[in-house]
Every structure is written in structure tokens, then in C-alpha cells.
Amino acid sequence: MSRQRDTKVAENHHRADELADVWRTALDRMRPAVGQATFSGLLSRSRLLLVEGDRAVVGVPSEFAKRWLEQKHAALLCESLSEACGRLLEVELTVMDGGDRRPEPIVDLPSEARTEPAVKLPYDEFGATPLNPRYTFENFVVAECNRFAHAAAMQVAKAPGRAYNPLFIHSRVGLGKTHLMQAIGHMVKKRYPHAEVVYVSAETFVNHMISAIRDGTINAFRARYRRVDVWLVDDIQFIAALQGPTSEEEFFHTFNTLYETNKQIVIASDAPPRALRLLNDRLRSRLEMGIVADLRTPDLETRIAILEKKAEAEGIELPREILELIAKRIETNIRVLEGALMKVCAYVSLTGEIPTLSRVEELIADYSTAASEKRVTLEEILQAVCDRLAVEPEDVKGPKRGRQLVYARQIAIYLGRELTDNSLAAIGQFFGGRDHSTVLHSYTKVQKMIEGDRRTAALVSELKAALTQS
């Protein structure tokens, strides 16, 4: 009897292992295709619970995760799991028991509280995450690409609620939004030790809001928020893209409550307010009411300076040629840049040697921009723009000047400059032998349109996303 049970346990154990393996493989496939917040907030907290015939059941951490993944990533989940399993699967999502709870906090609770998962700490109700101690102003390298955002953040940290409200920071992924936002948090806490600083991702905010509604504690949830002095909300594009008005409404409500009592609000997003898919236009205009600052890609010198600072923090001295090489290979994402540096640092501390340049090349090959980011060609851009705007490629390249055609041409040229390394002259050449001043004109024209016209902003960000996702 007991023998039998042992076998059974072993068998289950084995299956659990297998499921975990399959899930890991699927995760690897999904990672490049979803936003970082979705990945770390939802997918990496989910588990493959069962595969039976052609049915797979994935346990997800919350109702929100379930809805979000079903709406946005159903096909991706199905594809990735089918590939990982080697057969076509239908995927079901289910909210796991104890979903929506954070890992047990490291505090000493009375022993009965430990066994009682229903106990909630104040920290839990906010879903607030502690600030990362490394994300300070001291550790932030200021350069052309971030000077304005940095200055605005400093102002806000010095006079929360009085300088600019809200401060809206946007950029592509890995360029320092979270770092800058948390730097504000650190500085405020230092200067005003009693201030309540809350850093929360929009996704977590929505999760907690939804559980508060479900548990009938929404009033308490709101009341807690009234005591916040500085509200740092990260990755707000998640609120914006959510279907259904509840989360946006609740966000708007919290925003207004804090705003009207002169509390500081700082928001980070992967797109400017104009390009967010919001249901509520009043929310959009409120987001723009303070100051909107973007972070751009750092140039080579800045990337080297960032690497120097990080290497110094790691206590590892690397020759400048190595830092230069890493900075040359990785152009667009500071997080990836750091990853490559860490790999080289690991090599140094494991072998006790400074690697040669060609060894460094090998070490960081996986991180280099060419490998990690899909290269976009002018041809692909032309094709995508034509598909989307229903015009013909040869007309875009040709001399015709219909309204729709000119618009398509300008958008394509803009994307050509944003997404490829081609020179203005080469872009002009490709788009029917136009000269470089025409290219520049189109580029600035679209830049202005993005700021002034929501349709163009949305179109451009949609095309960008489609072109750069592999």
C-alpha cells in the first residue's frame, strides 16, 4: 500500500517536473513577444497545471491576469504551448488558489498569523513595491537623451505636489523610466521622512483594485490612497489598453483624489499620453496637464559612461576598450547593456582574468542589438504602411501627390528614420530618389502630427509595434 503510494507520488512528481519544463520552454518563446510587465507580472507568475489529451490548463495569479491574457495573448499562449509540447493544444486559463497574493513578506508575524493567509499587511492593500535601492539620482547618468526628464524629476522630488503635477515620463523599454521614477521616491523620503511614497505598477494597481471590488473593500482601498503623498505609477499603458472601463475609472478616481489635494503624481508609460488607448478623454487631458518628458536612446559616449558607473558599482575595473566594445554592440536598451556588462563581470570574477576583446565579443553575442532586436528594413516598412493605409508601394515611391499617398509616404519615411540605421540620403533614395531635405521635412512633419493628432500617434505606434515584434 505504502509502496504503491510512493510510486504514485514519484509519478506525480515526475509529471510536475515535466509540466514545469514545458512551461519554461513556452515562457522562453513568449518572452520576446510580450511586454516586460506582462511577462514578469503575469506569465512568470503563472504555471502549467495540466496537459491531458489536447487540453492544457494554465494557472494564472489573478482574475485580471486571466482576462488580460485571454484577451491579448490567447493565440500566443496556444502557439507556444503547442510548440513546447509538440502537439496542438487548446489552452484554458484558471485563477490559481491563493492567486493575487504576494509572496509572504519577510516580517515577523505572530505564529498564528503565519498560518492564516487571510491576514493582510498594510503594504498588501496598496500592492506597493519597495523601491530598488540602486535606483537613485546618484546612480543615474545624465546626458542629452535624458536631461529634460531628469531635471523635471529633480524638481518634482524637491517640491512634491508643487512643481509639476503630474509628471509623465515616457520612453521605449529599458531607458530608465522606472529608475528615474524611483529616484524621485528615494529623494522625497530622504527629505521628508514622514511622506508616504507609493510605487506601484499600473498592473498591480488594477489587480488590487479588482480584488478590493470583489472583496467589498473598495472604500477602504480608496481611503488608503487618500493618505498617499507621492504616487509613482509605472507602466500605465496597461491601464490604458485594458478593455472595459472599470480600471481606468478607478485609476481616474484615485488620480483626481490625489491631484485635488496637491499630492504628487508621477506616471511612466511606453507611449506619450496622445498615443495611449484610453477610453476617457478627460483622463488623457489630465495626464498632459503637468509636464510630459521623454527619455531617448543614449549615444555611444553616454552608454560608455553608464557602463563605467555600473562596473564601478560592481567593484570591477574593466579597460575602456571593453566598455567601448559593449557600448558599441548594444545600442537601444540600457537594461540589455547592463546584462552584457554583468556577463563580462561574471567572467572576470570567475576566471580572475580580463577577457580579450574577441572573448568579450563571444560573451556578449546574444545581447548585441543585431541579435536581440529584429532588424527592420525599408522594404518591410513600405509594405506595412501600404497594407495599413491601402495604397500601392509603387505609388508611394512615385511622384503622385494624393492626400492619402503623401500621408503614407511621410509615415513610411518617418518610420524609416526611426527604425533603421539608414542615412537620410539612403532613405530618400529608397523612397523614389527624394533628396535628404525632403526626408527631413517628412520626418519633422510626422513628429509634429504625432504630438497634435491622436490618430497619427496611434497609427505610428501600432506600426512600430508590428514591425519590431518578431
Can you give the C-alpha Rg of the chain in angstroms?
25
In the bound state with Mg ion, the residue whose beta carbon lies nearer, of 177 and 263, is 177
Per CB under 6 A, contacts with ligand ADP among 96-155 are 135, 139-141, 146
Q: How far is the CB of 273 from ligand ADP (least distance, A)?
A: 16
Query: CB neighbours (10 Å) of residue 261?
Result: 11
Q: Among all residues, whose Cβ is closest to Mg ion? A: 178
| 166 upstream amide cis, omega within 30 of 0 | yes
Q: How far is the CB of 129 from ligand ADP (least distance, A)?
A: 13
Q: Environment class of residue 12 by beta-carbon count within 10 Å: exposed (0-12), middle (13-18) or buried (19+)? A: exposed
In the bound state with Mg ion, the residue whose beta carbon lies nearer, of 170 and 177, is 177
**237 lies in the binding site for ligand ADP (CB under 6 A):** no
| d(C-alpha 221, C-alpha 442), whole Å | 48
Q: How far is the CB of 250 from Mg ion (least distance, A)?
A: 22
Contact range with ligand ADP by CB under 6 A, out of 101-109, 175-183, 208-216, 244-252: 175-183
| d(C-alpha 396, C-alpha 400), whole Å | 8
In the bound state with ligand ADP, the residue whose beta carbon lies nearer, of 170 and 409, is 170
**174 lies in the binding site for ligand ADP (CB under 6 A):** yes
Pick one of Mg ion, ligand ADP, none as the site partner of residue 176 (Cβ within 5 to 8 A by kind): ligand ADP
**184 lies in the binding site for ligand ADP (CB under 6 A):** no
Contact 316, 307 (CB under 8 A): no
DSSP 388-421: HHT--HHHHHSS---HHHHHHHHHHHHHHHHHS-
**176 lies in the binding site for ligand ADP (CB under 6 A):** yes
For residue 53, what are the contacts with CB-CB under 8 A and spacing of at least 6? Answer: none
Q: How far is the CB of 298 from Mg ion (least distance, A)?
A: 16
| d(C-alpha 234, C-alpha 170), whole Å | 10
- The dihedral through the CA atoms of 287, 185, 143, 328 has a sign that is negative
Per CB under 5 A, contacts with Mg ion among 156-185 are 177-178
Identified binder of ligand ADP from the candidate list 292, 334, 344, 381, rule CB under 6 A: 334
In the bound state with Mg ion, the residue whose beta carbon lies nearer, of 129 and 257, is 129
**175 lies in the binding site for ligand ADP (CB under 6 A):** yes
| d(C-alpha 165, C-alpha 255), whole Å | 11
In the bound state with Mg ion, the residue whose beta carbon lies nearer, of 46 and 201, is 201
**46 lies in the binding site for Mg ion (CB under 5 A):** no
Written in H, E and C, the secondary structure of 283-301 is: HHHHHCCCEEEECCCCCHH
**269 lies in the binding site for ligand ADP (CB under 6 A):** no
Which chain residues interact with ligand ADP by CB under 6 A?
Answer: 135, 139-141, 146, 171, 173-179, 306, 334-335, 338
Which chain residues interact with Mg ion by CB under 5 A?
Answer: 177-178
